[in-house]
Amino acid sequence: MWLPDRASSKPVYRQIAEHFERRIKSGELTAGSPLPAERKLAAELAVNRTTVIQAYEELRASGWVVSKVGSGTVVAGGDASPLRTADWRKYLDVGTMLPNSDAMRRIRSGLRREAGLVDFASGELSEDLFPGETVRSIFSEQPYDGPLGYDDPQGYGPFREALAAFLLRQLRIGTSASSLLITSGSQQSLFLIMQCLLSQGDAVGVETPSYCFSLPLLQSAGLRVYPLQVGPAGIDPEDVVRLHRRHRLKMLFLNPNFQNPTGTVLSAERRAALLRIAEKEGIPIVEDDPFSLTAFDGRPPLPLKAEDAGGRILYVGSLSKVAASGLRVGWLAGPQEIVSRLADARQQMDFGMSVIPQWLAAKLIEGEAFDRQIGRLRAGLALRLDELRASLDYHLSGSVSFEPPGGGLNLWVKWLGDNDPRQLRMLERAMSVGVAYVPGQVFGAEEPSLRLCYAKPEAGQIERGVIRLKEALLRS
């Protein structure tokens, strides 16, 4: 990041002004783009606020920027500017991809800026739960020897072979390399399914609450989304039949094991019923299964896919929640013709993934190393969940109610207090006292609720986070 040179003879305010002038000339900042708020910039550059004010004055004087009430200082456009900078504003609100929700964007920007925040919001593992040691030793023991050219559209062959064996060993899913598509996390699998197998206006059934609603993806794809309420035993198959009669469901999106956010496991009876319905009515099921292997007792409930005779289930998984999200390695298992159609479409979007993370992933999931990692992970997650439960019981008893899950990364909390954690101002307040969570409506929940991910904060931070929650949410 650019910083003023205090050694230079040129006054700091001039350096700042010239810095922005350069960036406007280079077209990085175009007509209408805002300059940082004076207070914020002063903090970032560790200079006196008056210095920033002076710099902006100078830029105004020379016509590079204008100040508008409300929108602060923005780059000048049209004839106001010494140079006619492009006006991109009309390009910013078109296209098929909707922006993320306010809450999510607020959380993300907060997490980037505010240090020392206890992060119950990011649904990922903390650094110390990653297999960092294993990764380093893999790279140092054997320098990369995979291909450097374009690879198979379905993904790196040796990894798909290893993955087929892995899925059979760990989850009793019978598949083969040719029926697997390697994707950039589960996210890309879901995106491909929605963009390539469904059309605008198609009706789909989605668990409610569900992290799916946190993705603008469904709306971006223009799908009609019908909610399936999640109870203690998961969704009710009868609801599926009812919805299908009325709306002709084209697909179901389910997360049967340790559902995100509720943590529930779909009961055995309901699984059987759902599979019968899927066959009878011909409704394919997208089974998103990020958490099965985190089962604290080491005995994951079998995925639906393990009982899928007839190829009705598109099984979506990834290493993000059981190894490292930064690998961006996920997969989709399904009928070969579907997999190759999606692989062909993915070529258009990004021409496929780098082999390097797949090469690494192949070594990660082979044999003991992974079993050690997953064992360590289960213990670590169980420990954190215990700390979270104890802290909530101690500090917020009476204001919260929850069902502790048997696996996964998230605790779903119903809020019984007066304030509603779903209000943006409550989220703001929480972040201002140093704790982040995801408010319930992001998942489509109708009652006051929030999701607390216990995987991201280091053990030990968790109680501090809960105390801050209390401070933010109980205060009237």
Q: Which parts of 278-317 interact with its own copies (CB under 8 A)? A: 279, 282, 284, 308-313
**Residue 471 class from Cβ within 10 Å (0-12 exposed, 13-18 middle, 19+ buried)?**
middle
| Min dist. Cβ of residue 299 to its own copies (A) | 23
Nearer to its own copies, 124 or 471 (CB): 124
- Subset of 157-176 contacting its own copies (CB under 8 A): 174-176
Q: In the set 271, 328, 451, 468, which binds its own copies (CB under 8 A)?
A: 328
Relative orientation angle of helices 268-281 and 237-247, to the nearest 10 degrees: 20
Q: Does 71 bind its own copies (CB under 8 A)?
A: no
| Min dist. Cβ of residue 55 to its own copies (A) | 17
**Token digits for 419?**
């304030």
Distance of CA 94 to the CA centre of its chain: 23
| Segment interacting with its own copies, rule: CB under 8 A, options 43-51, 119-127, 372-380, 390-398 | 119-127
- Subset of 390-449 contacting its own copies (CB under 8 A): none
| Min dist. Cβ of residue 305 to its own copies (A) | 9
Q: In the set 256, 357, 407, 465, which binds its own copies (CB under 8 A)?
A: 357
| Segment interacting with its own copies, rule: CB under 8 A, options 53-61, 291-299, 324-332, 428-436 | 324-332
C-beta separation of 268 from 299 below 8 A: no
Q: In the set 252, 265, 360, 362, which binds its own copies (CB under 8 A)?
A: 360
3-state helix, strand, coil in the chain (%, to 5): 45, 15, 40
- Subset of 138-157 contacting its own copies (CB under 8 A): 139-140, 143-152
Cα(228)–Cα(252) distance, rounded to whole angstroms?
Answer: 10
Nearer to its own copies, 186 or 208 (CB): 186
Counting every residue written for the chain, the total comes to: 476
Q: Is the peptide bond prior to 261 cis by the omega test (within 30 degrees of 0)?
A: yes
Residues contacting residue 396 through CB under 8 Å, at least 6 positions apart: 466, 469, 470, 474
| Min dist. Cβ of residue 416 to its own copies (A) | 32
β-sheet with 449-453: strand ranges across:
400-402, 410-415, 449-453, 438-439
Residues contacting residue 357 through CB under 8 Å, at least 6 positions apart: 327, 328, 329
For residue 455, give the nearest of 108, 166, 129, 164 by alpha carbon. 129
| Min dist. Cβ of residue 367 to its own copies (A) | 20
- Subset of 220-279 contacting its own copies (CB under 8 A): 220, 250, 279
Q: Does 116 bind its own copies (CB under 8 A)?
A: no
Nearer to its own copies, 141 or 297 (CB): 141
Q: Does 102 bind its own copies (CB under 8 A)?
A: no
Q: Does 326 bind its own copies (CB under 8 A)?
A: yes
| Segment interacting with its own copies, rule: CB under 8 A, options 9-17, 98-106, 234-242, 373-381 | 98-106
Number of residues counted as binding its own copies (CB under 8 A): 106
Cα four-point dihedral sign 152, 155, 159, 165: negative
Cα(145)–Cα(356) distance, rounded to whole angstroms?
Answer: 9
Q: Does 51 bind its own copies (CB under 8 A)?
A: no
Cα(235)–Cα(274) distance, rounded to whole angstroms?
Answer: 10
